[in-house]
Chains A and B, each alone.
Chain A
Amino acid sequence: MDEIQRRLLMEIADLHEIPEGAYNIRSNGEKAGRRTTEHIDIVTKTDKPGIDVIIKPYTKNESVHIPVIMTETGLNDTVYNDFYIGEGADVLIIAGCGIHNCGNQKSEHDGIHTFYVGKNARVRYVEKHYGEGDGTGERVLNPTTIVHVDEGGYLEMETVQIKGVSSTVRRTEGDLKKDASLVVKEKIMTHGDQVAKTYFSVDLNGEHSSASVVSRSVAKDRSVQEFVSRLNGNNACSGHTECDAIIMDDARVTAKPELTANHVDAALIHEAAIGKIAGEQLIKLMTLGLTEEEAEAQIINGFLK
């Protein structure tokens, strides 16, 4: 692995060295490394590109890293990864994709991830996207995440895209059974002419199921963002969706929350707020000795923290 690949791994997965526990590293469309453990198996799919990650029931305090890195310009990589999380397991899954494109052709990675979260299992899933390189070729990431959460299961999904991705369309779909929960925390910052669109759709099918989809974003320069969040309350359940965006310069931001209650005991809430940084926030930090630029950076960093 060369210096660029190591840096990408550090950016997307905080990996300075080979991770502990199970991992599968994909580099330029090929398997670059894999380790399985007693409780976590990783199997290459035979019908299409991708892997099956199989986590045994009641596996506790283990993690799986599945980063993807791309350094070749003009590569279009689509991968299908399925995760089977056994009953009662409690694990951390760290994914992410980093693209270094110093050529003039588009580099694109489309990751289609499907989660089958077993009864009473708990999963924390972290996915970071990052792009770099001084070429004119676009850096495109289009992740799709499909989540099936069985009774009493819990999935927390944290997605971060702060830098260097020209275009992204994220689709997340979920269906939840009785007492199941889904928590999504999204953080996005776009610059230049970047485009980021995220679509969430969650079916709260089970009694006492719950979902929270929260997006915080900053749109700078001429970038465009769109956030669509759809919650369908099909039983006695609770759902909350929130989009909070800071808009700057000539950027454009659209937020479209959509709630549908198909049950009288479905409690659904949406909040959406888009606005520029308040002048009084800048002034307050300037009275503490920060310049306007430093104050703006502090406010944005805090907002996306």
Chain B
Amino acid sequence: MLQLEHISYAVPEGNGTKTILKDVSLSLNERFIVITGPNGSGKSTLAKIIAGILKPTGGKITFNGTDITDFSITERAKAGISFAFQQPVRFKGLTVMDLMNLAAGKRLSVGKVCEYLSEVGLCAKEYVNRELNASLSGGELKRIEIAMTLARGAKISIMDEPEAGIDLWSFQSLIKVFEKLYRETNDSIIIISHQERILNIADRVIVLENGSVTADGSKDQVLPAFLSGACPRIG
């Protein structure tokens, strides 16, 4: 279980500070959690804090009973937390195969890599030996990023707007990937998303607004009000 206690995050602005997250406390037990909310509400910041990419200015994070607040990115990855970027990173020289092997932490067979790539809607053989450089489109990179998440097989996979930059056809594959992960593993998924179809398959939906949790519950509790523009308030 992932426990966030009184997480806050602020950045310097002018002579003062700008608060991005305010006293966020969440117990994340469910298998499929979607964090949603308007642009600038602090969703990606929260995801990066969980992955260790950003250090909170206050609060505590525990994972399966261990305090991981001071864990580095590497230590969190080794503890079982993976992170898929909203804007995937390009690497000159490193191939899709290289990255998939690194994600899996072992040398994968070409067949296995093809299997992962096919699941995210890529014609696998064409991609295995391609470099993750500027020759790949944003959508292709995004799907490779998600294939890496599959290969990683982490206890908690965090994905920051996996639907961004993906065409409609690939989006259908993406939904199937999430459903398969849900069905065939015991791992958990935390997704930052605005997409109704992703919100619809969640066990739990958390709404962030202006750095605070303003709604939290099952999709049936949260979605009707959220989609109509009037979120149910918590507490």
Contact = CB atoms under 8 A, between A and B. Distances in A.
Nearest to A295: B74
B55 to A, nearest CB: 13
Interface string A274-305: 00001011011111111110000011011111
A216 to B, nearest CB: 8
Interface in B161-184: none
A290 B92 contact: no
Contact of B77 (A288, A302, A304): A288
Given A286-B72, A290-B102, A244 B78 contact: no
B123 interface: no
A301 B102 CA distance: 13
Interface residues of A, number: 22
Contact of A281 (B72, B91, B95): B91
B73 A286 contact: yes
Given A283-B53, A302-B98, A291 B74 contact: yes
Contacts of A286: 72-74, 77
B105 interface: yes
B73 to A, nearest CB: 4
Contacts of B102: 285, 288, 290, 298
A299 B85 contact: no
Given A298-B102, A302-B98, A287 B92 contact: no
B74 A292 contact: yes
Most buried by A among B53, B73, B85, B88: B73
B44 interface: no
B51 interface: yes
Given A298-B94, A302-B94, A284 B77 contact: no
A289 B104 CA distance: 10
Nearest to A292: B74
27 contacts: A216-B92, A280-B89, A283-B53, A283-B73, A283-B89, A284-B85, A284-B88, A286-B73, A286-B77, A287-B51, A287-B53, A287-B73, A288-B77, A289-B77, A290-B74, A292-B74, A298-B94, A298-B98, A299-B93, A299-B94, A302-B91, A302-B93, A302-B94, A302-B98, A303-B92, A303-B93, A304-B93
B103 interface: yes
B143 interface: no
Nearest to B145: A284
B83 interface: yes
B48 to A, nearest CB: 9
Contacts of B98: 298, 302
Nearest to B99: A288
B122 to A, nearest CB: 19
A305 B88 CA distance: 22
Given A287-B53, A287-B82, A288-B102, A302 B74 contact: no
A288 B74 CA distance: 7
Contacts of A298: 94, 98, 102
B192 to A, nearest CB: 15
B92 A289 contact: no
Interface in A187-217: 216
Contacts of A304: 93
B152 interface: yes
Contacts of A216: 92-93
Given A286-B77, A288-B99, A302-B98, 15 more contacts: A216-B92, A216-B93, A244-B92, A281-B91, A283-B53, A283-B73, A286-B73, A287-B53, A287-B73, A288-B148, A289-B77, A292-B74, A299-B91, A302-B95, A304-B93
A108 B78 CA distance: 48
B12 to A, nearest CB: 18
B89 A278 contact: yes
Contacts of A283: 53, 73, 89
